[in-house]
Amino acid sequence: MGSMRQIVLDTETTGLSAEGGDRIIEIGCVELFNRKLTGNNLHFYINPERDSHEDALKVHGISNEFLRDKPKFAELADEILAYVRGAEVIIHNAPFDLGFLNKELERLGHPPFKTFAEGVIDTLVMAKEMFPGKRNSLDALCDRLEVDNSGRTLHGALLDAELLADVYINLTRGQEALLMDVPADKDAGPAQGQAAVLDLSGFHLPVLQANPQELQEHQDVLAQLDKSSGGKTVWRSCESLSARKFVA
């Protein structure tokens, strides 16, 4: 992939509806270069020119008073766009943040956010593919991928962007994390970057059989499942089908 500059972005907003007039109150971005945090971060509080909803206040904890003297989005737009230009932007649940960014840019007569970035990666989409049916909020992913998020009490955009950067790196670590580092020996052994090949032909693999008590417990569980499904379990219909075949 070559050297890649990536920006991990998070926003806080006055509420949930960009179309309904809600605005961005905070934007936090951290920069990754070759998958390492560079420290070249971008962080602004923004005067949204309106109050936050009660439920949004509970999430971000940023008071309306605090934001009154902050710059408006119009004053910061050029700096934000210059910062993301040419980079791949990583967002958790991208349609939400992009909806807000696009609305702010539209007010200023600018084209959508994606036209300034190299591309957008949505970590929520990635997580749903990797962990289908699981909770994939940022907090849930931090727990699952062992990213330490104990330092936060409220959702700060910069802290969330930093946590998301760690989550993204863990989500995309892929196979190389499974390869053992084997020192390259001059005489023998694998070349650098290759996994050691183990010959398993000499291993004896013991086969553990279930004992009578375990078999009985298994039958009890099957009987309970039979009962709760009203006799409609798949294995019973398969059994009766194969029994009919033998009779025939």
Q: Which positions are catalytic? A: 155
Is the distance from CB of 166 to CB of 138 less than 8 angstroms?
Answer: no
- Residue 106 to residues 73, 74, 116, Cα–Cα distance (Å): 12, 11, 13
**What span, in angstroms and rounded, lies between the C-alpha atoms of 182 and 177?**
13
Q: Whose CA is closest to 77, among 51, 53, 100, 50?
A: 100
Is the distance from CB of 160 to CB of 10 less than 8 angstroms?
Answer: yes
Contacts of 77 (CB under 8 A, 6+ apart): 104, 105, 108, 110
